[in-house]
Amino acid sequence: MNDKQLPAPPEHRAYLPAVEPERQITDWGRSERVEGALDKTLYEFLYHYWFRVTVEGIEHVPSTGGALLVSNHAGALPPDAAMIAKAIKTEHTRPRPLHLTVEHFFKGYPGLSMLVSKLGGVPAHPANVHRLLHDEEQLVLVFPEGRKGTEKLYKDRYQLRRFGRGGFVESAMRARAPIVPIAVVGAEEAMPVFGHVRPLQKLTGLIYFPITPLFPWLGLAGAAYLPAKFYIRFLEPIPTDQWGEAPWDDKGLVQTVAEEVRARIQEELYDMLADRKSVWLG
């Protein structure tokens, strides 16, 4: 047998493309330049002065290896993703870039298609999440509520929507990456949605056309946020390698875990809201 001469089958990780330091855009389409420019100006201002973000439990974000961050999602033009990324960059002992999974809609809409991918948005395809989590060992942020979270009306604030079909749990299990639940308070009040204009949504081809306190009354300036006080709480990670060989085949288990993550975030939100004295001052 010549088996001995053959090298052991290497992991797929070994054949990932090398980092090209001359480039400013990653293979995912993320641009350091665009992201850095926004980070130094707008995000910096929003994080420190406008939303005055208070972060708890940043140590629950692992320093190495892939991890799936799961958060609640709110606001017509949701500021939560940018603030979570900024929180990791500012507070964590070993800051890492965060990839955000976005709906396929964003890849198909002119303008947004360019911008979202430059800022670290990746189409929410299971293969993409797996490559990021397992092969590249990166941090990935998902909002399982998706647009159901951002389009919900102000009267439904902090009521978590359905967590999809648990696809995010399946992805984490396959990648054997921990799930870090995140509870965000403040995004609901930063740009609350009071209603939707269906005909204008149809006309513009957007996923929704909301009515907020400033939009569409002030035109594009209506995309400004109200200065709500932000709290971001990272919760204890849930390891996904505790259920044996191929837990993703057990759809019941996947649903149970998804429901558990949702319940933990919901509980935490109630807890944080009970302590909050003022929407604007905290």
Partner 1 sequence: MKRRVLITGVSTYWGGRLAQELEKDPANEAIIAVSPDDPACALERTEYVRVGTQHALLRRIVHAAQIDTVVDTRLIVDSTTAGRVGRSLAHEMNVLGTMNVLAACGGPDSPVTKVVFKSSAHYYGCERDDPSFFTEDMQRPHPPRTRIESDIVEAEDAVREFAARNPKATVTTLRFCNGLGPDVRTSHTALLSLPAVPGILGFDPRYQFIHEDDMVGALHHAVVADVPGVHNVAPDGVLALSEIAGLLGKPFAPILPPWGTSLATALTSRMGVRIPDEVRQQLRYGRGLDNRKIKQSGYRFALTTRETVQAFAAALRLKPLRESGEAPYRYEREVEEFLRWSPSVHRDESGG
Give the binding site for partner 1 (CB under 8 A). Answer: 10, 12, 15-18, 20, 22-25, 27-29, 31, 104-105, 107-114, 117-118, 122-123, 125-128, 131
Nearer to partner 1, 9 or 252 (CB): 9
Distance in Å, CB of 278 to partner 1, minimum: 40
Nearer to partner 1, 223 or 273 (CB): 223
CB of 12 closer than 8 Å to CB of 127? no
Distance CA 233, CA 84 (A): 10
Nearer to partner 1, 170 or 189 (CB): 170
CB of 47 closer than 8 Å to CB of 158? no
Distance in Å, CB of 4 to partner 1, minimum: 18
Distance in Å, CB of 111 to partner 1, minimum: 4
- End-to-end CA gap in the chain: 71
Instruction: Cite the beta strand spans of 174-266 per DSSP E.
Output: 179-185, 195-196, 210-211, 231-234
Nearer to partner 1, 129 or 261 (CB): 129
Nearer to partner 1, 140 or 183 (CB): 140
Distance in Å, CB of 120 to partner 1, minimum: 12
Instruction: List all residues 6 or more positions away from 268 whose beta carbon is below 8 Å from its beta carbon.
Output: 181, 183, 233, 235
At 121, the amino acid letter reads G
CB of 232 closer than 8 Å to CB of 84? yes
Distance in Å, CB of 24 to partner 1, minimum: 8
